[in-house]
Structure 1
Amino acid sequence: MSQLKSKKLSLCLTLLLCGAAAQAHSPYLKPNTFNAEEQRKHVTVEASFAEGDLRPDVAMKSEAFHLIGPDGKKLPLAAAAQLKDASYLEVPLAAGNGTYLISSGVRKGRLAKAVLRQGKVQFIERKDDVQAGDTPIEVQSISRADVYVSRGRPSAVDYDTEGVEIYPVSKPYDLYAGEPVTVRVRENRKPLAGETLTLITDGQHYAKQKQAEVDFKTNAAGEVSFTPKDAGLYLLQVRVRRASPDNPALWLSTTATLTLEVLPQP
């Protein structure tokens, strides 16, 4: 990796740790098709970090790329191409018809210096940023990006997964503009209430009337519902930040995303 790209990736990871969704690069997976015909044996998936629109900026690397097929079996994936701005996966749809979960898996990023100030995490760059009463901590960046792709006739998508994720309660292959979409933020399949979910609308670079990012709070069931106005691609993002259960001086900042395709009304 070039020095410039290394610095760029470091900046992305810092933003993921420090910034709000509107200010940070987001990890995403974008397939060339979300609903493949039965005769199609693979899809190509772009894996990258982007700010706003899903246009690749910094390549995503992961040793945990995988898919879970409609048969429930997990298959490791390796990037078919690793470019500076994006990685590309050729994902086999060998389990036959049904819906597949494609995931970056859990990716550990950098450790950042921070303090707890009045119960909130504050990142620091210099020693003189520390104030009286601050508790020094370190924050570990963790990220995960998911997308669902169907081949032929779709199938149920409640797979056995671990970690923080955005799970589509609404069928991800049957979403239409003007109709409500429900998702659930969960960790190890248990709902997470009170977390902030951000909705990012793709294609704003060319839109005359731009749609701002929208934040929602998950309810007691960990769920959020929203109604997309237009057809297109949407990225959902959540950031869960808390102290490590084994080490109160280490905090975990987990960012999870889900890419959805919303279709026009037939």
Structure 2
Amino acid sequence: MSLFTLKKIGLCLTPLLLCAAAQAHSPYLKPNTFSAEEQRKHVTVEASFAEGDLRPDVAMKSDTFQVVGPDGKKLPLTPAAVLKDASYLEVPLGAGNGTYLVSSGVRKGRLAKGVLREGKVVFSERAEDAKPGDQPIDVQSITRADVYVTRGRPGAVDFDTEGVEIFPVTRPYELYAGEPVTVRVRENRKPLAGETLTVIADGQNYVSQKQAELDFSTNAAGEVSFKPRTAGLYLLQVRVRRASADNPALWISTTATLTVEVQPQP
């Protein structure tokens, strides 16, 4: 990943609703279709960073782009085009009918300077913002973006994955406006409790009654549930921060996203 890209990246389900918070640039994957017809042999996926609506702003670059087919086999992906604002993947659907996971993989970002203040990571470039008791730390950023697409008849979605991810408990091809959607935040397939998941509705530039970004806390099973108010695209995001196991002065900040399509009621 280039330093230019990293510098531009900044970095609510069980229903404990927390206050909404403005988000910086978020990684996302957006396919040209979430449900491909059986005769279709590929989908095109946009990979970028955006703030708010899913409009490409900073191209996503990754050495670990991949697709996992219905057969569970992983296939590395190389972008068909890398522009300034977005990368584009032509994802083959060669494993036949079923549901595929398209992922950026785990992307290691830059090492930033921060402080630990009252147990929380704080970034500031101004010396005058320092407070007594601040503990200087280094923060290593990690990002991951996922999306599920289906060719023909849908299939299982529980693939063998690593790292922090947002797993769709409610199948991603069965999401409808006004109905509960449940997802699980997990790391190496183990649930993460007490993490904050943000729900971001796309297309807010075009509506008079905007949907605010909402934050929810995961329960003991790592799960959250919410009811999307309207059909459309939604970006789900979680950020997990903790000290490195072997170095308390190094913190790991992992941001994971999942793009989903919510259908209108039949």
1:130, CA displacement in angstroms? 3.9
Give the match's secondary structure for 1:233.
strand
Query: Which one has more relative contact order, counting CA pairs under 8 Å at least 6 apart?
Result: 2
Matches within 5 A, 1:123-134: 123-127=123-127, 129-134=129-134
Deviations 1:150-185 (A, max 9, x none): 000010100000000000000101111111100000
**1:150-169 aligned within 5 A:** 150-169=150-169
8 A contact 1:12–1:24 mirrored in 2? no
**C-alpha displacement of 1:12:** 2.7
Structure 2, unmatched stretches of 5+, are 12-19
| Counterpart in the other structure of 1:247 | 247
Q: CA deviation at 1:198?
A: 0.3
Matched, 1:179 2:179: yes
Separation in structure 2 between the aligned mates of residue 151 and residue 169 of structure 1, nearest angstrom: 19
- Deviation of 1:128 after TM superposition, in Å, equals 5.3
> What SS is found at the alignment partner of 1:22?
coil
Q: Distance in 2 between matches of 1:40 and 1:68?
A: 17
1 CA distance for matches of 2:44 and 2:174?
21
Q: Which residue of structure 1 lines up, in the alignment, with residue 31 of structure 2?
A: 31
The 2-side partners of 1:65 and 1:23 are apart by 24
| 1:188 partnered with 2:184 | no
CA displacement 1:165-216 (0-9 Å, x = unmatched)? 0000001011111111000000000000000000000000101111100110
**SS class of match (1:205):** helix
Q: How does 1:64-213 map to 2 (within 5 A)?
A: 64-127=64-127, 129-213=129-213
- 1:133 deviation in Å? 2.5
C-alpha distance after superposition, 1:112-167 (max 9, x if no partner): 11111222212232455444332211001110000000000010100000000000
- Give CA deviations for 1:56-107 in whole Å, capped at 9, x if unaligned: 0110000000011000001100100000100000000000000000000011
Instruction: Say if 2:21 and 2:214, in contact at 8 Å, map to a contact too.
Output: no
Fraction of identical pairs, as percent: 79
- State whether residues 3 and 110 of structure 2, in contact with CA within 8 Å, keep that contact through their aligned partners in structure 1: no
Match in the other structure for 1:12: 8
2:263 is aligned to 263
Q: Confirm or deny: 8 A CA contact 1:30 1:46 kept in the other structure.
A: yes
TM-score (ref. length: structure 2): 0.93
Q: Do the aligned residues in 1 keep the contact of 2:21 with 2:215 (CA within 8 Å)?
A: no
* Cα distance in 1, alignment partners of residues 124 and 209 from structure 2: 37
Shift of 1:248: 1.0
Task: Indicate the residue corresponding to 2:50 in structure 1.
Answer: 50
2:228 counterpart residue number: 228
Structure 1 match to 2:16: none
Q: CA deviation at 1:21?
A: 5.8
In structure 2, what residue type is equivalent to 1:81?
A
Q: Report if the CA contact (8 A) 1:48-1:85 is conserved.
A: yes
| Structure 1 consecutive aligned stretches of length 4 or more whose deviation exceeds 3 Å | 126-132
AA at the equivalent of 2:151 = R
| Equivalent position amino acid for 1:108 in 2 | K
Q: Could you tell me the TM-score, scaled by structure 1's length?
A: 0.93
8 Å contact kept, 1:234–1:259 = yes
How many Å separate the matches in 2 of 1:115 and 1:162?
Answer: 28
Q: From the superposition, tell whether residues 254 and 214 of structure 1 become closer, same or farther in structure 2 (CA, over 3 Å).
A: same
Aligned residues: 258
Over 3 Å counting, the alpha-carbon distance change for 1:21 and 1:66 in structure 2 is: farther
Partners in 2 of 1:32 and 1:54 — Cα distance? 13
Q: Is the 8 A contact 1:82 1:88 kept in 2?
A: yes
- Report the aligned-residue RMSD: 1.7
